[in-house]
Amino acid sequence: MSDINDGIHLGASTFQRPLEQLAEVMAQKVKREAPKVIGAPPYVAVDLHIARAAGVLLCIVTELQGHFRFDDNGARINERIHAVWNALMPVFEIKELYDERYSQLMKDKRIAP
């Protein structure tokens, strides 16, 4: 009967403060496995998502430049593409994309700074 009462209490309080209760329950469940993840500030995840979105856009820009070869005289497009790739290299997924595809693509299509 205690389990039913606990379930009813949890169900009734679901709409009152769901995030706080979820954090409490998860902290108790995975306290030993990942204490740093639970206490991690949310802006870390947002920063990672922004970097990944920038990586997707950079892949698109690199593909477009490789295909159309826009004039690089005044805009310094190639130089800027390299600068952004270098800025995003600390993100693991971006470095992996660069190493697997875009490093060779930029050499083949002569996208050099």
Q: What is the tens place of the pLDDT at every residue in 82-107? A: 999 999 999 999 999 999 999 999 99
37-63 pLDDT, tens digit each: 555 566 767 888 899 999 999 999 999
Which H or E run includes 50? helix 42-68
Residue 15, in any domain of the structure: yes
Residue 113, in any domain of the structure: no
Residues 47 and 21 in one domain: no
Residues 14 and 49 in one domain: no
Domain of residue 20, residue span = 2-38
DSSP state, residue 90: T
The domain tally of the chain equals 2
Distances in Å between the Cα of 62 and the Cα atoms of 8, 29, 58, 83, 105 are: 55, 44, 6, 12, 9
Residue 17, in any domain of the structure: yes
Residues 48 and 87 in one domain: yes
**Residue 29, CB half-sphere, CA atoms under 13 Å: how many?**
8
Q: In terms of pTM, does the model score above 0.95?
A: no
